[in-house]
Amino acid sequence: MSTVDTSLPAAGGPALPQERTAATVPGPRSAELARRRAAALPAGLTSASQMYAHAAGGGVIVDVDGRSHIDFGSGIAVTTVGNAAPRVVERMTEQMARFTHTCFLATPYEGYLEVAERLNALAPGDHDKRTALFSTGAEAVENAVKYARIATGRSAVVVFDHAFHGRSQLTMTMTAKNQPYKEGFGPFSPEVHRTPMAYPYRWPSGPANAADEAFARFALLVDSQIGASNTAAVVVEPIQGEGGFIVPAPGFLRRVADFCTERGIVFVADEVQSGIARTGTWFACEHEGIVPDLITTAKGLAGGMPLAAVTGRADIMDAAHPGGIGGTYAGNPVACAAALGVFETVEAEGLLARATAIGDVLTTELATFDDPAGIIGEIRGRGAMIAVELVAGAGDSTPNPAAVAEIVRYAHARGLFVLTAGTYGNVLRFLPPLSISDALLHDGIGVLRDAFAALAR
Ligand code: PLZ
Residue by residue, pLDDT tens for the chain (457 residues) are 456 788 999 999 999 999 999 777 899 999 999 999 999 999 999 999 999 999 999 999 999 999 999 999 999 999 999 999 999 999 999 999 999 999 999 999 999 999 999 999 999 999 999 999 999 999 999 999 999 999 999 999 999 999 999 999 999 999 999 999 999 999 999 999 999 999 999 999 999 999 999 999 999 999 999 999 999 999 999 999 999 999 999 999 999 999 999 999 999 999 999 999 999 999 999 999 999 999 999 999 999 999 999 999 999 999 999 999 999 999 999 999 999 999 999 999 999 999 999 999 999 999 999 999 999 999 999 999 999 999 999 999 999 999 999 999 999 999 999 999 999 999 999 999 999 999 999 999 999 999 999 998 8
Q: Which amino acid is at 213?
A: E
Q: Whole-angstrom Cα distance, residue 70 to residue 61?
A: 6
- My answer on whether 326 and 396 are in the same domain is no
Q: Whole-angstrom Cα distance, residue 457 to residue 455?
A: 5
CA of residue 2 to ligand 1 center, whole Å? 33
CA of residue 394 to ligand 1 center, whole Å? 33
- My answer on whether 157 and 303 are in the same domain is yes
Q: Whole-angstrom Cα distance, residue 370 to residue 305?
A: 40
Does 142 map to a domain?
Answer: yes
Identify the residue whose C-alpha is closest to ligand 1 atom 9. Answer: 76
State the angle between helix axes of 252-263 and 210-220 in degrees (0 to 180), rounded to the nearest 10.
Answer: 20
- My answer on whether 271 and 204 are in the same domain is yes
- My answer on whether 164 and 305 are in the same domain is yes
Q: Which amino acid is at 287?
A: H
Q: How many helices (H) and strands (E) does the chain have?
A: 13, 16
* Total number of domains in the chain: 2
Q: Whole-angstrom Cα distance, residue 216 to residue 212?
A: 6
Expressed as residue numbers, the domain containing 57 is: 13-71+350-456
- Ligand 1 touching residue 137 (CB < 6 A): yes
- Ligand 1 touching residue 136 (CB < 6 A): yes
- Ligand 1 touching residue 241 (CB < 6 A): yes
CA of residue 162 to ligand 1 center, whole Å? 13
- My answer on whether 365 and 318 are in the same domain is no
Q: Whole-angstrom Cα distance, residue 41 to residue 37?
A: 5
Which of 299, 305, 307, 329 most suits a substitution to test ligand 1, by most atoms within 8 Å of the C-beta? 299
DSSP helix/strand/coil, 264: coil
